[in-house]
Amino acid sequence: MLKVFCHASDSKDSDQPDWEYAIRNGMPMIQRVLLEKGINDLSSSWYAAPAPEQAPLKQDCRPLTLGIGTLGRLETLQFEDDWVAAEPLGADDVEITVRAAGLSSQDLMVAMGQLSRSGLGVDCAGIIRRVGRNVKTLEPGTPVMTWKLGTFGNIARAPATMVQHVPDGMDLTTAASLPLIYSTALYSLSTVARLRPGETILIHGAAGGVGQAAIMLAQSIGATVFVTVSSEAKKNLLTATYGIPESHVFNSRDDSSFVQGAMRLTDGHGVDVVLNSLAGEALRTSWGAIARFGRFVELGQRDIAGNTGLDMAPFLRNVSFHSVNMLDLLDWDVATASRVFADAVDLLRRQIVKPIAPIQVMPFSQVEEAFRLLQTGAHIGKLVLEVQDDDLVSVVPAAAAPVRFRSDATYLIAGGGGGLGRAIALWMVGNGARNILLLSRSGTKKPAARDLVSRLTAQGARVDAWPCDVSNEEQVAGIIERCRLESWPRVRGVIQGAMDLQDALYQNMTYEQFTGALLPKVNGTWNLHKHLPEDMDFYVLLSSVIGIAGSPCQGNYSAGNTYQDAVAHYRRSKGMAACSIDVGMMLGVGYIAEQGTEGRVHDNAKAWSFLGIHEHEFIGILEATIRGESTPGSVVPPQVITGLGTGGMLMQMGEKYPWWFKEMKFSHIKRVGAHQQSNQGSGKDEISVSTQLGRCQSLDEASDIVTGALVKKLAKSMVVSAEDIEPSKPVSSYGVDSLLAVELRNWIYADIKAEVSVFDLLSSVPIMSLAGKIAGTSEMVPKFSDE
């Protein structure tokens, strides 16, 4: 060893030798910090969504579901992995290979951001793939139809009671058009409005799917039907197909005509039932046309979501106002939803009602065109999207599955009352964990730990904070015994984040200080390894980047951290789960953040030139280590170092190389990107705006970054120098026209992930104020709790 060290120190090739060696099997080993591609790719994906690629929707092994990249931008409709379909199938559920799914105006509202809902597509038809173990009435291979949220994809799951056989002779695209419209129409007219023979009903937007289904149902009940439509073609369809007299067809865009018409045709009494899908003034006018004892059924959700007003006077005449929200019915009363659906299909089977017409079928590859067609309001009948064999759709590249914690397991967090431990506990409960034990010497004595326990308990989890010094083996063994006595489920994962900083220069450090910082990490880590089950799902050590870079006053802490790294490697070599995360400087949460930005601790940490890590970044890395893979197929190594920049990154940020960069173990990452940067010239302007925004520490800083970027972009577009653009003046003062404003808006959206209107860009607001507004809404800017 001495020979190797002397040789390395004398070498003319290097001005800095390797200082740390290990001998394994007689072989001297040195350390090198290398890039971890999987984790780096994962973290890049948090800031720049990977571009969708063309892939088949018809895939057996990859459940996909339709989402929208940006609400309101139909060109960002794209398929992504459906993690729900990856979970075990419920005992009473059925899994269907989707062949066709109906598109409704509510899907459009969701895509445009006018209606908040967590999925697109509400009904579908396809072939049963699998059934849950309690399902006896349905079997794989059967053509079926259903309605439930999120059917735009290749696989759908629904409770067996919500799945009906496709009537004989009916094709799957027709079947996909029917479940929701007939269930809605039947529930509205029979269950809610109790429409009786001889009564009158006004059906708005009657050429649409629900409208036509309602016409057929109302006619089968024996009611007199009045309808509104928005075009001559729609009027012709209804008169020809359903024999509705022309005098009973009104213009849905002319409120006064349909109200006057309905009043005239009912001798001034008004209509008994209104089935409404019109919004705003048309809704209020229709409400005025309701007869005594009438029932108004509201299907549209725009006014309800917008909490708009309703005239109270009609209630004097014993009228009632109902809202029908089928997805809410399904969520809260699946038995009624199932019964209504079964009754509707029965009416279809007995041909009391028939499929609506026309049905326009489009492949899923034209999903954007289908939404746009719906947007024009010109189409008649129902639009159905079909999964075709060779159809390619936009698919977001596969990401690793999010972690779901087991509800039947206990998870231990040592140091769980600390800043990071508390953040981890909250995240775990949010992702399925139901039994969590926080271990620290103070147990529930500190208010933060007590508050956390109450908060998580209120969320339905069994959480406790027990006093335990993890460096004391007896106490750790006692915890395991107490778990058994108090019937906590088996421990399946541990996070070891116990830390007690006792900083001092090594020559001044007392023995107590040395062991004070060392033991929670060394003995604590070993005690947990020794006393917890060998086959746990995860064993994560929160080590520190200080163990890698070193710190003059933290020799004790550094030693403890490197011990944790070594234990992770040891456990992995024995086939046990383990990962040591060398946490960098945490921003916003944890010990350094709690000391404030003014203090010595923060200044020290800054002086190290570490890159700050936000909570979501830390949790993302923790999630990858627990899952075991960062991106699909990339196994997370036993030790992950975070918060170190490469040479290129530090140059880009205009940071000097830190002193610890001189060590040979950093020689690789020091070179990464450095050559490129020195060719391009360094300086803060060169770093991408999104990266700068992702790392900023206050909204003011973010506004300055956006101001700089706007000035630069404007200068480039106007072919002037950036010095000629004055941030205190508005964009419009530089002769920006609406075309350039649109381009600026698109650039702001693409690079800064903020929505700004052309109107705002052309207003007289100074560039810096506009930049503040953009920074405040940018998805790239972290959320600052005090702003």
Would you count residue 612 as binding ligand NAP (CB under 6 A)? Answer: no
Would you count residue 419 as binding ligand NAP (CB under 6 A)? Answer: yes
Would you count residue 8 as binding ligand NAP (CB under 6 A)? Answer: no
Strands 27-29 and 22-24 turn out to be: antiparallel
Alpha helices in 354-446 (DSSP H): 367-376, 419-430
Cα separation, 493 vs 638, in Å, equals 16
Cα separation, 332 vs 343, in Å, equals 19
Give least dist CB 526 to ligand NAP, A.
13
Strands 359-363 and 93-103 turn out to be: unpaired
Would you count residue 67 as binding ligand NAP (CB under 6 A)? Answer: no
Contact stretch for ligand NAP (CB under 6 A) within 121-129, 175-183, 390-398, 589-597? 589-597
Give least dist CB 562 to ligand NAP, A.
12
Q: Can you tell me which of 153, 417, 555, 694 binds ligand NAP, judged by CB under 6 A? A: 417
Strands 410-414 and 435-440 turn out to be: parallel
Would you count residue 588 as binding ligand NAP (CB under 6 A)? Answer: no
Would you count residue 470 as binding ligand NAP (CB under 6 A)? Answer: yes
Pick the closest to residue 357 from 536, 532, 216 (CA basis): 216
Contact stretch for ligand NAP (CB under 6 A) within 107-115, 230-238, 315-323, 463-471? 463-471
Residue 266's contacts (CB-CB under 8 Å, 6 or more residues apart) are: 200, 291
**451 Cα distance to chain centroid:** 27
Instruction: State the DSSP code for 153.
Output: B
SS3 assignment for 544-575: ECHHHHCCCCCHHHHHHHHHHHHHHHHHHHCC
Would you count residue 471 as binding ligand NAP (CB under 6 A)? Answer: yes
Q: Can you tell me which of 144, 275, 583, 714 binds ligand NAP, judged by CB under 6 A? A: 583
Give least dist CB 580 to ligand NAP, A.
10
Cβ closest to ligand NAP, residue 226 vs residue 618:
618
Write the burial class of residue 23 (CB in 10 Å: 0-12 exposed, 13-18 middle, 19+ buried): exposed
Radius of gyration of the chain (CA): 32
Contact stretch for ligand NAP (CB under 6 A) within 6-14, 333-341, 436-444, 728-736? 436-444
Cβ closest to ligand NAP, residue 276 vs residue 496:
496
Contact stretch for ligand NAP (CB under 6 A) within 117-125, 214-222, 440-448, 452-460? 440-448
Q: Are 356 and 381 in contact (CB under 8 A)?
A: yes
Residue 729's contacts (CB-CB under 8 Å, 6 or more residues apart) are: 766, 767
Give least dist CB 548 to ligand NAP, A.
11
Contact stretch for ligand NAP (CB under 6 A) within 163-171, 218-226, 257-265, 412-420? 412-420
Contact stretch for ligand NAP (CB under 6 A) within 171-179, 194-202, 414-422, 456-464? 414-422
Would you count residue 544 as binding ligand NAP (CB under 6 A)? Answer: yes
Q: Can you tell me which of 143, 208, 418, 637 binds ligand NAP, judged by CB under 6 A? A: 418
Q: Can you tell me which of 102, 126, 421, 645 binds ligand NAP, judged by CB under 6 A? A: 421
Please tell me the count of residues contacting ligand NAP according to CB under 6 A. 29
Q: Return the residue nearest ligand NAP (CB atom).
A: 418
Cβ closest to ligand NAP, residue 244 vs residue 585:
585
Paired residues of 249 in beta bridges: 227
Cβ closest to ligand NAP, residue 143 vs residue 417:
417
The H or E element spanning position 156 is strand 155-159
Would you count residue 611 as binding ligand NAP (CB under 6 A)? Answer: no
Cα separation, 318 vs 270, in Å, equals 13
Q: Can you tell me which of 94, 206, 282, 592 binds ligand NAP, judged by CB under 6 A? A: 592
Contact stretch for ligand NAP (CB under 6 A) within 465-473, 671-679, 706-714, 715-723? 465-473
Q: Are 117 and 110 in contact (CB under 8 A)?
A: yes
Residue 733's contacts (CB-CB under 8 Å, 6 or more residues apart) are: none
Cβ closest to ligand NAP, residue 66 vs residue 542:
542
**481 Cα distance to chain centroid:** 39
Would you count residue 428 as binding ligand NAP (CB under 6 A)? Answer: no
Give least dist CB 70 to ligand NAP, A.
33
Cβ closest to ligand NAP, residue 199 vs residue 500:
500
Give least dist CB 85 to ligand NAP, A.
36
Would you count residue 415 as binding ligand NAP (CB under 6 A)? Answer: yes
Q: Can you tell me which of 442, 454, 459, 680 binds ligand NAP, judged by CB under 6 A? A: 442
Would you count residue 33 as binding ligand NAP (CB under 6 A)? Answer: no
Cβ closest to ligand NAP, residue 162 vs residue 592:
592
Cα separation, 289 vs 270, in Å, equals 5
Q: Can you tell me which of 33, 181, 578, 586 binds ligand NAP, judged by CB under 6 A? A: 586
Residue 387: phi and psi, rounded to 5, are -85, 110
Cα separation, 398 vs 396, in Å, equals 6
Would you count residue 107 as binding ligand NAP (CB under 6 A)? Answer: no
Cβ closest to ligand NAP, residue 182 vs residue 618:
618
Residue 203: phi and psi, rounded to 5, are -110, 115
Residue 12: phi and psi, rounded to 5, are -80, -15
Give least dist CB 498 to ligand NAP, A.
4
Write the burial class of residue 453 (CB in 10 Å: 0-12 exposed, 13-18 middle, 19+ buried): buried
Cβ closest to ligand NAP, residue 215 vs residue 498:
498
Cβ closest to ligand NAP, residue 103 vs residue 583:
583
Pick the closest to residue 294 from 223, 243, 344 (CA basis): 223
Would you count residue 617 as binding ligand NAP (CB under 6 A)? Answer: no
Would you count residue 524 as binding ligand NAP (CB under 6 A)? Answer: yes
Would you count residue 547 as binding ligand NAP (CB under 6 A)? Answer: no
Give least dist CB 476 to ligand NAP, A.
9
Considering only residues 488 to 507 of the shown chain, the ones binding ligand NAP according to CB under 6 A are 497-500
Cα separation, 223 vs 199, in Å, equals 5
Strands 271-276 and 64-68 turn out to be: unpaired
Give least dist CB 439 to ligand NAP, A.
5
Give least dist CB 441 to ligand NAP, A.
3
Pick the closest to residue 156 from 60, 65, 61, 57 (CA basis): 65
Cβ closest to ligand NAP, residue 528 vs residue 709:
528
Strands of the sheet with 290-298, listed across from one edge: 249-251, 224-229, 200-203, 271-276, 290-298, 320-323
Write the burial class of residue 734 (CB in 10 Å: 0-12 exposed, 13-18 middle, 19+ buried): middle
Q: Can you tell me which of 177, 277, 440, 690 binds ligand NAP, judged by CB under 6 A? A: 440
Binding residues for ligand NAP, per CB under 6 A? 414-415, 417-421, 439-442, 468-471, 497-500, 520, 524, 542, 544, 583, 585-586, 590-592
